[in-house]
């Protein structure tokens, strides 16, 4: 099984390529590309949150607790919160993720459980999409895809490391197929994971529709404003 360095190196390389390609080819803003690249790199550690005490759990939870409130600043602005409310809500989200998620993972997570699965990968992308409330829908899809790409990189590396190439062909370890899966052996984790994926998917779909509608309205208003000729005075005043 690949270690922490292999996972973080692989997801960082993928993030750098993803962000760089979007900047050069896709004309995406450089700051958005940098955020996507960093998110992809860190998302490469997310599946190992079920590995118990260690660097992946500590660093991933701390990063999520710090970054998620900052990604939601635009959403706080849309909600009309004053600066005091933004600080209080951001602090509450930080404490919830930093200590609540840490306790849940240490208490209930099982190694190579549903955290190592394709539904969990989509959950990571949905969370990123809902947290990053940019006015441009394309930027939201771009950021959410970065989280999915980093998560997927981890799963693919796990599957690659579960195969040994020998003289008589490949030899598969017992861990083969336990990373890129759609369900685990336990019923309740499967149900909870799919329930969370469906709920977040419905929220993301509704939020995406609202964002698309607002973006279309802003474009129509800007086009209407550009089409209106500037008003001229009915007379020229001369001194």
Tell me, yes or no, if the pTM score tops 0.75.
yes
The torsion region of residue 63 among left (phi > 0), alpha (psi -120 to 50) and beta comes to alpha
- Report the distance separating Cα 53 and Cα 39, nearest Å: 22
CA atoms within a 13 Å half-sphere pointing along the CA-CB vector of 225: 6
- Report the distance separating Cα 78 and Cα 55, nearest Å: 36
Could you tell me the mean pLDDT of each successive run of 10 residues in the chain, 239 residues long? 79 94 90 92 82 64 81 80 88 87 69 80 92 84 94 90 67 70 82 91 88 73 69 54
Burial 161-184 (b: 16+ CB within 10 A, else e): bbeeeeeeeeeeeeebebbebeeb
Burial 22-49 (b: 16+ CB within 10 A, else e): bbeeeebeeebbebbbbbbbbbbbbbbb
- Report the distance separating Cα 51 and Cα 16, nearest Å: 26
Instruction: Supply 198's token pair.
Output: 């469906």
pLDDT of residue 238: 54
Domain range summary for the chain, segments of one domain joined by +: 4-221
Residue pair 130/200 in contact by the 8 Å Cβ criterion: yes
pLDDT of residue 6: 85
CA atoms within a 13 Å half-sphere pointing along the CA-CB vector of 150: 31
Q: Which one, of 143, 171, 154, 12, lies nearest residue 71 by Cα?
A: 143
Q: How many residues does the chain have?
A: 239
pLDDT of residue 31: 92
């Amino acid at each position: 099984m690949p270690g922490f360095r292999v996972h973080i190196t692989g997801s960082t390389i993928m993030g750098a390529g993803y962000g760089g390609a979007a900047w050069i080819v896709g004309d995406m803003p450089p700051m958005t590309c940098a955020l996507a690249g960093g998110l992809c790199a860190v998302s490469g550690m997310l599946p190992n949150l079920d590995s118990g005490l260690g660097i992946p759990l500590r660093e991933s939870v701390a990063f999520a607790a710090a970054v998620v409130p900052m990604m939601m600043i635009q959403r706080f602005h849309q909600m009309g919160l004053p600066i005091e409310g933004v600080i209080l809500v951001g602090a509450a989200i930080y404490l919830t993720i930093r200590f609540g998620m840490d306790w849940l993972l240490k208490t209930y997570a099982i190694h190579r459980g549903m955290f190592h699965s394709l539904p969990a990968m989509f959950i990571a992308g949905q969370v990123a999409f809902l947290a990053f409330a940019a006015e441009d829908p394309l930027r939201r899809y771009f950021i959410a895809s970065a989280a999915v790409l980093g998560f997927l990189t981890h799963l693919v590396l796990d599957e690659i490391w579960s195969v040994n190439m020998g003289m008589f062909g490949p030899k598969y370890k017992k861990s083969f197929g336990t990373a890129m899966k759609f369900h685990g052996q336990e019923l309740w984790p499967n149900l909870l994971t799919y329930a969370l994926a469906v709920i977040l998917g419905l929220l993301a779909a509704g939020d995406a529709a609202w964002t698309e509608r607002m973006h279309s309205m802003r474009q129509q208003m800007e086009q209407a404003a550009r089409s209106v000729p500037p008003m001229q005075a009915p007379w020229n005043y001369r001194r």
